[in-house]
């Protein structure tokens, strides 16, 4: 009986081991961060994913574009730096209400990640990448109107002193953009990380911010306000009161005579809503400028109204800005003398929300 044998053959299919550099933990976080930012703005996805983020960006740029036009025609800004963050707050809330669930809720529901990692992803790296992605994306959106307005103002400036005055006026708006982006993104992600259903997460985020804003507004209005007179001095560029367009504030000329000069903008932080008087005279050291003393009325709120602002995260940011920069904005009650409590609450909310994200993902099941 014969035995038939066959020879074994090894086929070379071209497999070669990876011999390149092995990326570490930072590369994993960076890859997840870039992927998350792309997902927030709908890059690499269908048209529906792009509607909300790019709509918010377009709306944010509308007042900035109008400001650039007003600057080019030497007119007062449509929306000053100090009120941008507060007036555009609803669109920032819309942005995070859609973006935060998109970042984490889908992963929670399916227990999967769209990215494939050759090394295990540490639990702490996931919330870190997601928080950085949403914070930086919202920061970009909130800084756009400030930066566009600033560029328009700088392009229309006629002296270095004007540039300095505009830079000083813009700095509180930059602070609001950073603080509001951190607070809104962290709170939104913490809420979204509690459910795998994006619709529920979006509704919870929107309800939280809108409800707290409404409650804070009720406390501000229900107790009534009184007004007191204030004055502030500054140096502003003059305009020709006969040819200038837009708002022109005249000064000089006595009580009955025509004004001898005029300016198109008031001191930083002062609006014309509660304006009571503008006094000034040409600055002898700066031709083309005037030394102004602007008198205006500001509302005086009770301590209940001031403490009520601490209910709303957006008002916490705004109140901290008013206290830190001694702003004269009257969009919310001036928090003094409890301004330090606003700043402390802002820091505490950021720490608690970020810490809550890390604790949450220590317990998330991967099975």
pLDDT at 227: 73
170 in Cβ contact with 142 (< 8 Å): no
Whole-number Å distance between alpha carbons of 326 and 70? 27
| Residue 204 in tokens | 């919870």
pLDDT at 222: 63
Whole-number Å distance between alpha carbons of 24 and 120? 11
pTM value is 0.76
Per-residue pLDDT of the chain in tens (367 residues, 90 and over written 9): 555 666 777 777 777 776 667 777 888 889 899 999 999 999 888 888 899 999 999 999 999 999 898 888 877 788 888 888 888 999 999 999 999 999 988 888 777 777 766 677 788 888 999 999 999 999 999 999 999 999 998 888 878 888 888 888 889 999 999 999 999 999 999 999 988 888 999 999 999 999 998 888 887 766 556 677 878 888 888 888 777 766 788 887 766 667 878 888 888 777 776 788 888 888 888 888 888 888 887 767 778 778 888 899 999 999 999 888 877 665 777 788 888 999 999 999 999 999 999 998 887 654 4
290 in Cβ contact with 283 (< 8 Å): yes
Is the CA virtual torsion 49, 51, 52, 56 positive or negative? positive
- Going from the C-alpha of 29 to that of each of 34, 119, 330, the distances in angstroms are 9, 12, 42
Q: Where are the domains of the chain?
A: 25-223+345-360, 229-300
pLDDT at 62: 94
């Amino acid at each position: 009986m014969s035995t038939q044998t066959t020879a074994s053959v090894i086929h070379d299919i071209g497999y070669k081991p990876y011999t390149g550099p092995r990326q570490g933990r930072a590369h994993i976080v960076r890859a997840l961060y870039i992927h998350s930012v792309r997902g927030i703005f709908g890059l690499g996805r269908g048209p529906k994913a792009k509607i909300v983020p790019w709509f918010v960006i377009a709306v944010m740029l509308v007042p900035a574009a109008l400001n650039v036009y007003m600057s080019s025609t030497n007119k007062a800004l449509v929306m000053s730096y100090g009120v941008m963050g507060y007036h555009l707050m609803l669109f920032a809330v819309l942005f995070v209400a859609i973006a935060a669930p998109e970042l984490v809720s889908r992963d929670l529901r399916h227990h999967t990640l769209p990215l494939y990692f050759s090394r295990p992803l540490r639990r702490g790296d996931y919330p870190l990448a997601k928080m950085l992605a949403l914070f930086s994306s919202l920061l970009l959106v909130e800084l756009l109107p400030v930066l566009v307005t600033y560029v328009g103002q700088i392009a229309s400036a006629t002296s270095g002193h004007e540039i300095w005055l505009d830079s000083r006026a813009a700095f509180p708006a930059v602070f609001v953009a950073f603080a509001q982006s951190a607070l809104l993104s962290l709170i939104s992600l913490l809420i979204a990380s509690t459910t795998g259903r994006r619709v529920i997460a979006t509704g919870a985020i929107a309800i939280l911010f809108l409800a707290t804003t409404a409650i804070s507004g009720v406390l501000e209005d229900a107790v009534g306000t009184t007004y007191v007179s204030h004055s502030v001095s500054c140096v502003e560029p003059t305009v020709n009161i006969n040819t200038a367009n837009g708002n022109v504030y005249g000064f000089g000329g006595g009580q009955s005579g025509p004004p001898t000069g005029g300016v198109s903008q008031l001191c930083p932080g002062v609006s014309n809503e509660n304006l009571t008087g503008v006094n000034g005279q040409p600055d002898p050291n700066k031709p083309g400028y005037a030394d102004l003393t602007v008198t205006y009325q500001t509302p005086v709120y009770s301590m209940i109204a001031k403490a009520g602002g601490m209910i709303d995260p957006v008002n916490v940011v705004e109140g901290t800005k008013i206290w830190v920069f001694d702003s004269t904005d009257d969009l919310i009650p001036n928090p003094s003398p409890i301004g330090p409590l606003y700043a402390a609450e802002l820091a505490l909310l950021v720490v608690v929300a970020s810490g809550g994200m890390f604790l949450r993902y220590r317990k998330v099941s991967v099975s």
